[in-house]
Amino acid sequence: MSEHPTEPSSSVANGASETDPAALEPKDSEASTAPLSNPAQQRQRAIHLAQAVRHELQKAVIGQNAVIDDVLTALIGGGHVLLEGVPGLGKTLLVRALAQCFGGDFARIQFTPDLMPSDVTGHAVYDMQSEQFKLRKGPLFTHLLLADEINRAPAKTQAALLEAMQERQVTLEGRALPVPQPFMVLATQNPIEQEGTYPLPEAELDRFMLKLRMDYPQAEQELEMVRQVTRSTRSDMLDVQPLRALMQARDVIALQRIASELPVDEQVLDYAVRLARATRTWPGLSLGAGPRASIALVRGARARALLRGGEFAIPDDIKGCALAVLRHRVRLSPELDIEGLSVDQVLKQLLDQVPAPRQ
Given a cut of 90, whether residue 358 has pLDDT beyond it is no
User: Which secondary structure element, helix H or strand E, spans residue 129, and what is its range?
Assistant: none
pLDDT of 17 = 38
Band of pLDDT at residue 90, cut at 50, 70 and 90? confident
Mean pLDDT for the stretch of residues 181-200: 83
Mean pLDDT for the stretch of residues 124-151: 84
Counts for the chain of helices (H) and strands (E), in that order? 14, 11
Helix (H, G, I), strand (E, B) or coil at 88: coil
Of 316 and 221, which is predicted with more confidence? Answer: 316
Count Cα atoms within 13 angstroms, Cβ side, for 38. 7
Its sign, for the CA torsion 114, 117, 121, 125, is: negative
Given a cut of 90, whether residue 137 has pLDDT beyond it is no
Q: Among 3-7, 285-289, 305-309, where is mean pLDDT lowest?
A: 3-7
- The Cα 20–Cα 188 span in angstroms is 33
Of 233 and 272, which is predicted with more confidence? Answer: 272
Q: Among 23-37, 64-78, 206-220, where is mean pLDDT lowest?
A: 23-37
CATH C-level class of 262-359: mainly alpha
Of 116 and 135, which is predicted with more confidence? Answer: 116
pLDDT of 34 = 41
- Strand duo 331-332 + 184-189: pairing: unpaired
pLDDT of 191 = 77
Q: What share of the chain is helix, strand, coil (3-state, %, to 5)?
A: 45, 15, 40
Of 352 and 197, which is predicted with more confidence? Answer: 352
Q: Among 11-20, 100-109, 256-265, where is mean pLDDT lowest?
A: 11-20
Task: Parse the chain into domains and list their residue ranges.
Answer: 262-359
Strand-pairing partners, residue 171, are 176
Of 44 and 34, which is predicted with more confidence? Answer: 44
pLDDT of 352 = 94
Strand-pairing partners, residue 144, are 106, 184
pLDDT of 52 = 93
Band of pLDDT at residue 236, cut at 50, 70 and 90? low
pLDDT of 14 = 38
DSSP-derived letter for residue 103 is -
In contact, 241 and 98? CB cutoff 8 Å: no
Amino acid at 300: G
Given a cut of 90, whether residue 211 has pLDDT beyond it is yes
Band of pLDDT at residue 18, cut at 50, 70 and 90? very low
Given a cut of 60, whether residue 6 has pLDDT beyond it is no
pLDDT of 359 = 59
- The Cα 75–Cα 256 span in angstroms is 8
Q: Among 154-158, 173-177, 228-232, 328-332, where is mean pLDDT lowest?
A: 228-232
Given a cut of 50, whether residue 33 has pLDDT beyond it is no
Q: What is the average pLDDT value for the chain, to the nearest integer? A: 83
pLDDT of 16 = 39
Band of pLDDT at residue 302, cut at 50, 70 and 90? very high
Of 98 and 125, which is predicted with more confidence? Answer: 98
pLDDT of 232 = 65
- From 134, 146, 206, select the one nearest 177 (Cα to Cα): 134
In contact, 70 and 81? CB cutoff 8 Å: yes
Given a cut of 50, whether residue 153 has pLDDT beyond it is yes
- The Cα 326–Cα 200 span in angstroms is 16
pLDDT of 13 = 37
